[in-house]
Amino acid sequence: MASSDERRFEVLRAIVADYVSNQEPVGSKAIVDRHNLGVSSATVRNDMAALEEEGYITQPHTSAGRIPTDKGYRLFVDRLSDIKPLSSAERRAIISFLDGALDLDDVLRRSVRLLAQLTRQVAVVQYPMMSNATLRHLEVVPLTPARLMLVVITDSGRVDQRTIDLGDVLTDEHVGRIRDVLNTKLSGRRLTDAAARVAELPDQAPGDLRDALVRVCTVLVEHLVEHPEERLVLGGTANLTRNVADFPGSLRQVLEALEEQVVVLKLLAAARNPGAITVRIGEENEDAQMRSTSVVSIGYGKDDMLLGGMGIVGPTRMDYPGTIAAVRAVANYVGQILAGS
């Protein structure tokens, strides 16, 4: 870029930094006083006029100050060449906090609390997607002689349970044989590949197990393969109320949208690869209720396998470098923990 363009970007960066920090429109004198740009107030005013004409900043009222627009925040984020890493103390705190988790549910609950605390925004974490999971083990537990519990355990640590009414009485020996059939045919297979094999099991089974396997396989296909549930954990919703002015007339809409998990799942859907950050700013959000927010999301997983998404929802006036660093660090540690699960 030409030197004048670079200088204007430095002015924009100064406006973003001051407005995020102070929530007050930023004037040329404040930029000269606080940021060592090496130019006069008159030059800064000219640069601000050019930035305003191009739609990067706007004047909210009759004060001389300016604030960034969605377009201005987008340019700022796109030009973030260096994300400041978390301090060693922050990294140690993340590791210590997450390493104490007992199981997948605990890992995700802790991750949400941690992200909300680090960013002071709303944090959201998606449970590992069943479609990307591999079956680690299928446990069959007799509840009564005519009722079973089917427990599906995936390589991501996710555990799903279903109760099955058999209609017939089974012995412990029958239950053990059903367990062996399921694990022999399905363990180690991707859930997306398992549907056809599940459908074949009853026809291949011994006659005394066929009726029971029909019921078991019907439940397995309907609830765990064809229609996997997408579950989310949210935390820190109260953080949005700290600065109601960031959501003029729209805070209630944002809170209602967060309650609709379908909306939040769509926000995380852009995650395609573990570690890839996506930032949606204001009008870039498809859902009209979310257009006063910014969403910083990332995929988490093991190696190149995407397990799910996580991120934060907050006002467009946010600390983007700090938020991106926090989201990236937590996603990285969650992926490491699940890789060892």
In this predicted structure, what is the pLDDT of residue 2? 45
Token pair, residue 208, equals 């005394």
> Hey, which residues does 299 pair with through a beta bridge?
274, 309
User: pLDDT tens across 252-304, in order?
Assistant: 889 888 887 777 877 776 666 778 899 999 999 888 889 999 999 999 887 77
Do residues 114 and 92 lie in contact, with contact meaning Cβ atoms separated by under 8 Å? Answer: no
Confidence of residue 57 (pLDDT cuts 50, 70, 90): very high
User: pLDDT tens across 181-232, in order?
Assistant: 889 888 888 777 776 788 778 888 788 888 888 888 888 877 665 555 567 8
In this predicted structure, what is the pLDDT of residue 1? 40
Place of tokens 């859907």: 269
Token pair, residue 287, equals 């859902």
In this predicted structure, what is the pLDDT of residue 224? 61
Asked if the model's pLDDT at residue 114 lies above 90, the reply is yes
Asked if the model's pLDDT at residue 155 lies above 90, the reply is no
Token pair, residue 167, equals 């209609």
In this predicted structure, what is the pLDDT of residue 74? 96
| Those residues with Cβ within 8 angstroms of residue 324's Cβ, 6 or more apart along the chain or in another chain | 80, 83, 277, 279, 296
Output 174 or 226, whichever has higher pLDDT.
174
- Dump the DSSP string for 160-171: EEEEEE-SS---
- Dump the DSSP string for 27-75: -HHHHHHHS---S-HHHHHHHHHHHHHTTSEE--SSSS-BEE-HHHHHH
Which domains can be identified in the chain, with CATH numbers? 4-79 (1.10.10.10), 88-129+229-340 (3.30.450.40), 134-226 (3.30.390.60)
In this predicted structure, what is the pLDDT of residue 327? 93
Alpha-helix runs per DSSP H in 224-319: 251-259, 261-268
Mean pLDDT confidence for 20-28: 92
d(CA 133, CA 225): 10
Do residues 135 and 109 lie in contact, with contact meaning Cβ atoms separated by under 8 Å? Answer: no
Mean pLDDT confidence for 13-18: 95
Output 328 or 272, whichever has higher pLDDT.
328
Half-sphere exposure of 287 (CA within 13 A, CB side): 21
Asked if the model's pLDDT at residue 145 lies above 60, the reply is yes
In this predicted structure, what is the pLDDT of residue 10? 93
Asked if the model's pLDDT at residue 340 lies above 70, the reply is no
pTM summary value: 0.79
Token pair, residue 266, equals 């769509």
Alpha-helix runs per DSSP H in 100-223: 104-119, 172-186, 191-204, 207-219
> Hey, which residues does 281 pair with through a beta bridge?
294
> Hey, which residues does 138 pair with through a beta bridge?
152
| Those residues with Cβ within 8 angstroms of residue 166's Cβ, 6 or more apart along the chain or in another chain | 146, 147, 148, 211, 212, 215
In this predicted structure, what is the pLDDT of residue 228? 52
User: pLDDT tens across 67-78, in order?
Assistant: 999 999 999 999
Q: In what order do the strands lie in the sheet with 135-144?
A: 135-144, 147-154, 159-165
d(CA 124, CA 216): 33
Output 225 or 311, whichever has higher pLDDT.
311
d(CA 61, CA 71): 19
Asked if the model's pLDDT at residue 132 lies above 70, the reply is no
Share of the chain above pLDDT 90, in %: 34
In this predicted structure, what is the pLDDT of residue 335? 87
In this predicted structure, what is the pLDDT of residue 301? 84
